[in-house]
Amino acid sequence: MRARGIDRAGLAALLPVRKDAEPALEALLKDLGPPSPFARIERTHFARLLLMPPLPAARDGNLEAVPRCLLFSAEFDGSAGGYVESLCQLMGSEADAIFGHCVGFPGVRRPAAVRSWLFTHRLHAGFSLHGHPGATVAEVRESLRSREELIEFALATRDADPSTFARVWAKRPWR
Amino acid sequence: MAPDRAGHPPSLSRPITIIVPVARWWAWWLRLTWQFADRSRWIKAKLLGFEFIHVAHWSLVDRLPAAAPRDEALALPTPYLLFQTNYNGDAANYVETFALEAAWRIDGIWRGAYDFPGPRPSSRFVAFVLERALEGPPQSNAYHYYAGYPSGTVRTVKAALKLRAGLPELERQAAEAARLGPYALADVWGAFLADQQRNL
């Protein structure tokens, strides 16, 4: 776990869906955003909600007796517990609507119970890869913005003489 | 920009999720080897060198709820390997690169999965993954996906972070050069561009 940058483990949970709720959840996921409610949790790098099909059997067919699951997974800055609190606070109505179709969801008014519920369903990542693990969402966004500004500045000043460049430099946008 | 071969919408960050049944002995093998592999820079360096993986996780699940005590959970008849990744680019190219450039690593993860064709020929492995990719056709399950910086590829994010790390030194040198005159300032800027050209 990290205090900053992507939490190495992320948070992923397989959440059994109530049998009668599958069509409603499917419709809800298809209509969710844009904008995504996860955008309100600014430390979210990536998030997904996926209504899984029945699990495939080892040989043929599917495990029809096992309930279909909603896969919730997110990559974020900070701790998983803190992220669940943010989920309850910042996208409460959507979280209630989505996870309310899952077995045992306690409701966002009880964030500690939501945390316990999600952690009981949590998948442990055994092997993980992180392309840029040390950077927070804010740092990535700021860096991408600065890069665009630097590129534009470089293109705009490529033919400038030193005196003109010095005047333009005083107005550089990334300061 | 057209959807990629997995049917994902045109955007720079995309998800792939697959879940496959694995032999019980293979789950034991993975639990054992992951303890070493997940801490090994040597094993990960090759995979991270591809520069299209934002994040990828492999997990095992053998019961529901996955982290509940065994006597309180529904035991699955066989363990399952769940792979989920956030990446940029084309899904088929992603999987194909894995197969061609990291074949033994792929073997070391999926060898015990039912119907796993092996990493070679790569076309079979690509088909194995894409046919099971839960987001795209042929499966097309309902999903919602969010990326916090949708315009950033792994390569541009890394380049931007390196560029940003160089800005304080640029500002320091520029402040010194500005006192000497516009030619010195232009020289500092030119040197910065030359040093950072691979990140622009």
- Read off the pLDDT of residues B21-75 as tens digits, 9 standing for 90 and up: 999 999 999 999 999 999 999 999 988 888 899 999 999 999 999 999 999 999 9
- Residues with Cβ within 8 Å of residue A87, at least 6 apart in sequence: A41, A95, A108, A114
Residue A46 and residue A74: Cα distance in Å, rounded?
6
- Contact between B55 and A12 using a beta-carbon 8 Å cutoff: no
**Partner B, chain A 125-164, Cβ-Cβ below 8 Å:** 125-132, 135, 137, 139-144, 146-147, 150-151, 154, 157, 162-163
Contact (Cβ atoms closer than 8 angstroms) between residue B94 and residue B87: yes
Cα nearest neighbour of A144 on chain B:
B160
What's the average model confidence in pLDDT over A122-129? Answer: 95
Q: Is A110 on the interface with B (CB under 8 A)?
A: no
**Confidence grade of residue A5 (pLDDT, cut at 50, 70, 90):** low
pLDDT at A133 over 90: no
Residue B10 is predicted with a pLDDT of 47
Contacts of A120 in chain B (CB under 8 A): 65, 67-68
More confidently predicted of A173 and B68: B68
Return the CATH number of the domain spanning residue range A11-120: 3.30.70.100
Rounded to two decimals, what is the model's pTM?
0.91
**Confidence grade of residue A4 (pLDDT, cut at 50, 70, 90):** low
- Contact between A45 and B54 using a beta-carbon 8 Å cutoff: yes
Beta-ladder partners of A70: A15, A51
pLDDT at A2 over 70: no
Cα nearest neighbour of B36 on chain A:
A127
Residue A173 is predicted with a pLDDT of 86
Residue B6 is predicted with a pLDDT of 46
Residue B11 and residue B9: Cα distance in Å, rounded?
6
DSSP A71: E
Contacts of B106 in chain A (CB under 8 A): none
- Contact between B51 and A131 using a beta-carbon 8 Å cutoff: yes
Residue A6 is predicted with a pLDDT of 59
Q: What is the pLDDT of residues B165-188, one digit of tens each?
A: 999 999 999 999 989 999 999 999
